[in-house]
Amino acid sequence: MAELVFYSGTMDSGKSTLALQLDHNHRARGRVGRIYSSHDRAGAATLSSRLGLSTPAIEVAEDLDFWADVVGELTGGARIDYLVCDEAQFYTSAQVDQLAKVADELAIDVFCFGILTDFRTHLFSGSQRLVEIADRVLTLQVEALCWCGARATHNARTEDGEMVTEGEVIVVGDVEDPDRPTPQVGYEVLCRRHHRKRMTAARAKAGALSPDVLPFD
Ligand SMILES: Nc1ncnc2c1ncn2[C@@H]1O[C@H](COP(=O)(O)OP(=O)(O)O)[C@@H](O)[C@H]1O
Ligand SMILES: Cc1cn([C@H]2C[C@H](O)[C@@H](COP(=O)(O)O)O2)c(=O)[nH]c1=O
């Protein structure tokens, strides 16, 4: 039985790396895969990992129909054993339903990778549907860490190191270096406590450096 599997984790937890490794392992055993991604940081039609590996992919625009795409390929004589679907949080709910149909009706394994929640802590449309209908939802084992050392569970959007809570849901970007915050939109992974308090690494550092205001004897 083919499966629809959702590998989930915060930003920078190794999802794209795992997607590339999984594709490599299946290809090494003679299986034929088809790779999709959406809004990858490295550009359209690419699946890239921060470890430096990348591969061409089919760009998933809102109007891509997975069922039609896969059936078209099979009808043209291609062989497909599995799909690798990165940045699946950006897929529409209907597209995730199409992926389930591909697994069930065509016996093709579908491996999806993505973050669960956006910078406001709300589920992305694709992730919500995957949690609802995937055969398995797996959390990545390499945990990204908050600046305090706790497990990071939330993806914060930052500007100049300050967390923001308003804006477009989709803004492509990377986790920023806390020692060099950029004025552009960046991201930082935080534990829930520090996401709730909007306490980014830059803010914590500034707090630690500020002079005591209490009158000490
Ligand atoms: N210089 C490095 N050395 C070792 N591991 C690194 C390095 N840079 C990034 N990584 C690893 O790569 C992970 C990010 O991989 P990536 O697949 O791009 O993440 P995701 O797709 O989840 O955002 C980091 O969590 C870290 O474990
Ligand atoms: C939280 C959040 C993230 N994004 C974007 C930022 C990145 O381009 C991707 C996540 O990629 P990764 O491989 O998991 O690091 O998603 C966004 O558009 N909106 C958000 O709220």
Instruction: Give the sheet arrangement for strand 136-139, strand by strand.
Output: 58-59, 33-37, 82-85, 109-114, 4-8, 136-139
| pLDDT tens-digit series, residues 171-185 | 999 997 766 666 678
Closest CA to ligand 1's atom 2: 51
* Most ligand 1 atoms within 8 A of CB, residue of 51, 112, 141, 145 to mutate: 51
Atom of ligand 1 nearest to the CA of 18: 17
Cα gap 90→88, rounded to integer Å: 5
All domains in the chain, ordered by first residue: 4-139 (3.40.50.300), 154-204 (no CATH)
| pLDDT tens-digit series, residues 106-137 | 999 999 999 999 999 999 999 999 999 999 99
Exposure b/e, 75-93, CB count within 10 A at least 16 = b: eeeeebbbbbbbbbbbbee
**Residues in binding site:** 170-173, 187
CB distance 151 to ligand 1 below 6 Å: no
Q: Is the ipTM of this complex over 0.85?
A: yes
Enzyme catalytic residues: 87
**Cα-to-centroid distance, 117 and ligand 2 (Å):** 9
Output the pLDDT for position 207.
80
CB distance 20 to ligand 2 below 6 Å: no
| pLDDT tens-digit series, residues 37-73 | 999 999 999 999 999 999 999 999 999 999 999 999 9
Atom of ligand 1 nearest to the CA of 9: 22
- Predicted TM-score (pTM) of the model is 0.95
